[in-house]
Amino acid sequence: MTQNDVLGERVTTVPVPQQSTTSASVSACRACGTAGVREFLSLGSTPIANALVEPARSATPDPSYPLAVGFCPSCSLVQLTHELPAEAMFDANYPYYSSFIDALVTHSAQHVDSVVEERGLGAGSFVVELASNDGYLLRRFVEHGVPVLGVEPTPGPAAAAREAGIPTLEEFFGADSGARIRKEHGAADVIIANNVMAHVPDLNGFVAGMAALVSDDGIVQVENPGVRYLLEHCEFDTVYHEHFCYFSTIAVQKLFARHGLNLLDVEFYPDLHGGTLRWTAGRTGTPTERALRHLDEEYALGLDDFAAYADFGARVAANQTRLASLLRELRARGKSIAAYGAAAKGATLLNSTGIGANVIDFVVDVNTHKQGKLLPGARIPVLDPAELMERRPDYVLLLAWNFKNEIMRQQEAYRQAGGRFIVPVPSPQVVG
């Protein structure tokens, strides 16, 4: 039973007319190639989460595609059981610009500062960032006088990075990219791939490219939300078509080793994206005690066994039912409800739970590239955050709950005026 079945609705999967996009069933694990990936969560069919809708085409239905997650019993990788072409999601209209998120910019600056100090980077070094977006992170390296190169496939963010003085290749990174970049620019002392490895359908090509590009004594650093925290906090809205995979340290170690990279360290950031891990790898070296501790904890939790995932679908369905009931009850009492964050996770939450414009009046987002458009599927208008004080909704559903603290600080005036927030995960909660 899917979550859309629980809420009494079913959406048919259809192709995108303009692109003839179709969803393909995945028959073998993206990492190890083993058949038999076992599905444990289905969110029905949903639109592409970041495919915001121009009001002019609001009469055209949004195509939707199967969204389900499975577990590979061979290498422990959690992954989508269907996939769309990357080009269908990371296109010229891709609206995500990292520089709009203060918490992420701060986290990235601290990351850069620590790497520069620990690795002794300077004018003779070379740093490459994969999925460098609008250059938000590499700018900090430039401030330290470190030569950089960004690799970013989406035209808008890539152009913004170049305008900020960050040399950027506008392309997808893969197996051939690493060797070519190394030949043209030299080996990389540091490769950073934050919040991108989950977005890559060809995992082996991506990691092989990093292994080809990194210097013999260099490091690769990858950040992504840990699948452990997705399970523990019921973060089902982290699932969308852009996220092909959901990583444990167990799966990452095996993936790296397949391409001659040793897992060296693991760091945990509990307040970033609901629980983020930073994995450091290199050609030589052995895991730190901290890395070994993370591995031990994951094995103790059974993250290498399907049993750890088996009941997740039922837990998600229960959470969705509670959230839908809460919102319906508030509307029945005459309360007005808005939402904060036109994020991909918000599109998943709304569409898979059956929440639309009949429940949420509008969504606000600081990203000006999203304002004036409609959320896909739910078709809720995206407005400037100033509208919260202008319209004074009784409640605001925090779709971007992963930046809850930042948002609530920004909206202190709304809170002081009596506004209340609804945090949807791990379980719906109303906070003042």
Spell out the domain ranges in the chain: 334-431
Mean pLDDT of 397-407: 91
Angle value at C-alpha 44, between 348 and 399, nearest 5 degrees: 15
Amino acid letter, 268: F
> CA-CA distance, 269 to 271, in Å (whole number)?
6
Q: Of all residues in the chain, what percent carry a pLDDT higher than 70?
A: 93
Over the stretch 94-121, which tens digit does the pLDDT of each residue have? 666 677 677 788 999 999 999 999 999 9
| Cα–Cα distance for residue pair 383/373, rounded to 1 Å | 8
Residue 18 has pLDDT above 50, yes or no: no
CA distance 280 to 219: 7
- Residue 26 near residue 82, CB atoms below 8 Å: yes
pLDDT at 11 over 50: no
Fold of the 334-431 domain:
Rossmann fold (3.40.50)
Query: What does the DSSP assignment read for 120-152?
Result: T--TT--EEEES-TTSTTHHHHHHTT--EEEE-
Reply yes or no on whether the pLDDT at 15 is more than 60: no
Q: What is the pLDDT of residue 61?
A: 87
Lowest mean pLDDT among 97-111, 327-341, 376-390: 97-111
Rounded Cα–Cα distance for residues 107 and 269 (Å): 10
Q: How many whole angstroms separate alpha carbon 121 and alpha carbon 130?
A: 18
Q: How far is it, in rounded angstroms, from Cα 75 to Cα 304?
A: 8
The residue to which tokens 């799966």 are assigned: 251
Which pLDDT score is estimated for 19? 41
CA 399 from chain centre, in angstroms, equals: 13
Cα→Cα distances 24→19, 201, 329, Å: 15, 12, 39
User: Pick from 138, 182, 179: which is nearest to 162 by CA?
Assistant: 138
What is the value of pTM for the model shown? 0.89
Task: Pick the closest to residue 312 from 377, 252, 246 (CA basis).
Answer: 246
